[in-house]
Structures are given as structure tokens and as C-alpha cells.
Amino acid sequence: MNILRKWRFWSAFLILFFCYFTIKPNFYENNSSNKINYGLDIQGGSSFLLELSEEVFKNNLLLKIASQLDLDYDLNSSINNGKIEIDSTQDLTKLTNLVLQSMGLTLNKKTEFISIIDIENQFFKKSISDMTLNAVEIIRSRVDFLGNKELSIQKTGLNRILLEIPGSLNQNVKEIISKTAKLNFHIEKNSFVDTILLENSETNESIRVMARPSLTGDYLQDASMQYDNNSPVVSFSLNKAGADIFGDLTAKNVGKRIAIVLDGTLISAPVVRNSITGGAGVISGNFSNEEANNLAIILKSGSLPTDISIIQEKQVGPSLGKEGVTKGVYASIIALIAITIFMIAYYKISGLFTAISIITCLLLLFSIMSLMNATLTLPGVIGIVLTIGMCVDANVLIYERIKENFLNNSDDPKNSGFNSAFITILDSNLTTLFAAIFLFAFGFGPIRGFSISLIIGIFSSLIVTYVVLKLFLEIVPIDKTGLKIK
């Protein structure tokens, strides 16, 4: 008994020390990683949720696989309904299950006319997940080039990217993150066979070119904005292989026009004057400074393997959050005072224990949040106020049980009352915890902050009740008439 009390005493001290040292970094302007993060809804800033198109990615992947099959196994395959189809009259003996498996494919259906091959689900999931991770780096590099230093970017789900930028937003961000940045060079061809017509509505330029690009942006090494006769242009350089192709291409097509196409849109179509062997070129096209700079950035960072779109965006000014936090702090303080007054009026000295428990509980909540580098959002502030409510509930349950034990003249009323009530508290808090965990798992944005506050709040409340409140109940002598000092 005595040992346990001693243990509690020192634990309570330990908690206070722990709180002091973990909360302290929050008050210093340093880059300690153990600080509470403020969500964008509090500090102001922008967030973008980007989605990479699964469909386009699958199509590109299928094209790649099909051409590989054709090349390696001498086949003539076509793509239909998101699957590879091969005429069964062809020699398929070399395409064993083992070969298919190594390429991440499965034989979907085989009749005497046709074989349908599909990408294996697991393999596809992994490919798309890898692709997203790759895209995260590309987007990060793009936004970095614009000079945003404190951005946070992460993959969420299979094919989504969450980008968060605190502070005011550079208007170019939206422009550069929503571009695939697929650069293609098409040679002019005046025929209706295998050609496409490209048009630029701004410059009224139009050109009929070969449908297949002669050179793609995959060979790009670098790009930068420069000035040509005082108008901004984008100069680019190709790697060795690209330079060879480009040299060859320009040599063969002197006098023809070459269309420079970005994400399917014609930028310009200059005439090839002579062969370009160094692998360096210039894209001009009525750019403003910003446009040229954005283009250089996205070309430099590389293209995305699929289409990208912004499916959610949010921009929060700084005033809303600050006001919200101030109000939340006032709400907490007033709630704390009101509850303390009520509890002291009702439970006398034990009401004071409740107030001390609540304060310790809040300290512990902040300290765990700092330690975990958790994010506090505006709904999270509500979660904190509800933590006060849970802490009070635990106290009330214990006091009522102890009172009852006093009335029933049981032996050791305080201890047995505390213990039986604590089981109830565990039961009831655990169910709230389940709800909070599922909210975290399925939630999005600031709502996650709410569940984080709530989850940590539940743990803090349990720990404080078990250590601090019990300590007070043990060392302060109280009696049955409303738990007053004897």
C-alpha cells in the first residue's frame, strides 16, 4: 500500500517534469522537431490535394508492355478495354505463365480466337504507388524552384499527393503543380495519313504534324528562362542520347517546321534552319516572364508519368485561425473555471482535486502532442475542450462510487470505490477511443486534428486519473459527507 502511494507520488512528479521539458520547446523560436504543429486552418496557408490519373497511367503502362511483348516475342498485340489482346493464331508458346508473371501480367482469358492479358492487380497497385512516390519528388522539386521552403508534401492513398504550403501563396504554384509537363517534338507532315492537326488559339498558328512524336521530353537535361531580344524564352539542353536524336532529326528536316507541344497544346512551331548538334535549343512563344519561368521549372523538374488534377484546394488567411485559437483558449479557460466552481460547490475539497486533475491532464495532452510533433487544428481545439469533459466525468464517477461506499460502510471505501469506478471509466473511454481512431483512419484534413486531440486526451485523462487524482484521494483524509476533510 505504502509502496504504491510512494510510486504514485514520484510518478506525479515525473509527469510534471515530463510536461515541463516537453512543452518548453514550444515557447522558443528554434527548429526543434518536438513542437506542436499548427494546422493550416490555424496558421494560414494553402493545401492542395492532387490526384494522378489511374486510367491514363494504366494506358501508358499497357502501351509500354504491349510494345515490349511485340518486340521480345514477335507478336502483334492490341489494346482494348484496358487489356492487351493478342490474336490466337500467333505463336504464343514462348509466352509461358512464368514469363507473364515476371512481367506482372496474368492471362485473363484464352479462346481459340483471342488471348486477353491483363496487368496483375498487385503489380499494378505497386506500379501506381511507385509512380506516385516519384511524382511527389517531381512536384516537390517544382515547388522548391519557386522558392517555397517550408512546404510539406506527402503521398496519401494510392495515387494522391497532399501538398501544404504555410503562409501566403505564390500564385504560380497552382499553375506548375497541375501540369503533366509532357514535352513532345513533332515534325511537320502535310498528309492525312497518321497525322494530327495542332492549333494554338492565342497565336492563331496551326500545323499538321506526324502523329508520333519524333523526340520526347524524356531526354531533357536542363531548362532555364532567358531573354532573346528582350522577350523571355526557355532554353533547354538534352542529354547525349537526346542530342543525337535531335541532331539527326534537325539535319533531315531542314526547312520544315517542328512543333513544340506541351501536354497536347501547341506552344510554337519554328522552322528548322540548320541541323542542331549540341543538344541545346530554345522555345519561344509569346511568353510573359512568369510563363517562361514556370515552363522552365516544370521542364527542369521532369514530367509526370500520367495526368494530374487538383481535386481539393484550400486557402486560409491568417486572421481566421488566430481568432479561432484565441477564442478556443478563452473557451477552455472559462469552461475550466465554471467546472471548477461547480465541482467545489458540489464536492468541496474534492472539487479542487478535479481542477488540479484537469490542469495536469491538459498539460500532459500538450506535452504528448509536442513530443509526437502532432498537428493542432481548429476542430482539435474542440477536442481539447471535450477532454476536459471526459476528465470531469472520470472524477464524478469515482467520487459518486466512493460516496456510496461510505454510505454502505464498506471497508476501505476510497480504494474500492476508486478501483471499481476505474474499470467503468476504462470501459467507457475505450469505446470513445475506438470512434476517435476510426475518425483518424478515415478522416481528412482538420478533422484528423480533432481525432488526434481526442485520442491523446483520452490517454492523458486516464493517466492523470490513475496517478494524480488517486494520489490526492490517498493523502487527503476525506469523509462520507460529500468528501470533505475530516
Q: List interacting residues with another protein (CB under 8 A).
A: 41, 49, 51, 174, 178, 309-317, 319-321, 323-325, 327-328, 330-332, 334-335, 338-339, 342-343, 346, 378-379, 381-382, 385-386, 388-389, 392-393, 396-397, 400, 404, 420, 423-424, 427-432, 434-436, 438-439, 441-447, 450-451, 454
Smallest separation, CB 174 to another protein (Å): 7
Pairwise CA distance, residues 374 & 383, whole Å: 14
User: C-alpha grid cell for residue 382?
Assistant: 474542440
By C-beta, is 12 or 363 nearer to another protein? 363
State the DSSP H helix or E strand holding residue 238, giving kind and residue range, or none if neither.
strand 231-238
How far lies 362's CA from each of 175, 337, 391, 394, in Å? 43, 14, 10, 15
d(CA 346, CA 387): 21
96/168 with CB nearer another protein: 168
Report the alpha-carbon distance of residue 255 to residue 66 in Å, rounded: 35
- Looking at the Cβ atoms of 77 and 332, the one nearer to another protein is 332
Nearer to another protein, 201 or 230 (CB): 201
Angle at 28 between CA 22 and CA 32, to 5 degrees: 60
CB 101 within 8 A of CB 121: no
The span from the first CA to the last CA of the chain, in angstroms, equals: 21
Residues 361, 392: contact at Cβ < 8 Å? no
Question: What DSSP element (H or E) covers 447?
Answer: helix 446-464
CB 394 to another protein: min, Å:
9
Nearer to another protein, 48 or 236 (CB): 48
Indicate the length of the chain as a whole number: 486
Residue 41 or 85 with smaller CB distance to another protein: 41
CB of 338 to another protein, least distance (A): 5
Q: How far is the CB of 181 from another protein (least distance, A)?
A: 17
Shortest Å, Cβ 334 to another protein: 5
Q: How far is the CB of 301 from another protein (least distance, A)?
A: 21
Residue number, 251 or 334, with CB nearest to another protein:
334
CA distance readout (Å), 104 to 117, 125, 126, 315: 10, 11, 10, 41
Closest CA to 231 of 268, 187, 177, 264: 268
CB of 315 to another protein, least distance (A): 5
For another protein, the closer of residues 291 and 404 by Cβ is: 404
Rounded CA-CA distance 161/250 in Å is 39
Nearest-approach distance from CB 41 to another protein, in angstroms: 8
Q: Which whole-number Å values give the CA distances from 94 to 63, 73, 78, 115, in the listed order?
A: 20, 7, 18, 14
DSSP 64-122: HHHHHHHHHH---EEEETTEEEEETTS--TT--HHHHHHTTEEEEEE-SSEEEEEE-HH
Smallest gap from residue 205 Cβ to another protein (A): 23
Residue with smaller CB distance to another protein, 311 or 485: 311
Count the neighbouring beta carbons within 10 Å of the beta carbon of residue 351: 20
For 427, phi then psi, to 5°, come to -55, -50
Residue 182 CA to residue 307 CA, distance in Å, equals: 9
- Minimum gap (Å) between residue 47 Cβ and another protein: 9
**Grid cell 512516390 in the structure block, residue:** 133
Grouping H, G, I as helix, E, B as strand and the rest as coil, residue 315 is strand
Q: What cell was used for 317?
A: 488567411
Question: CB-wise, 49 or 473, nearer to another protein?
Answer: 49
- Taking the complex as a whole, the smallest distance from the CB of residue 10 to another protein amounts, in Å, to 31
* Nearer CB in complex with another protein: 317/477: 317
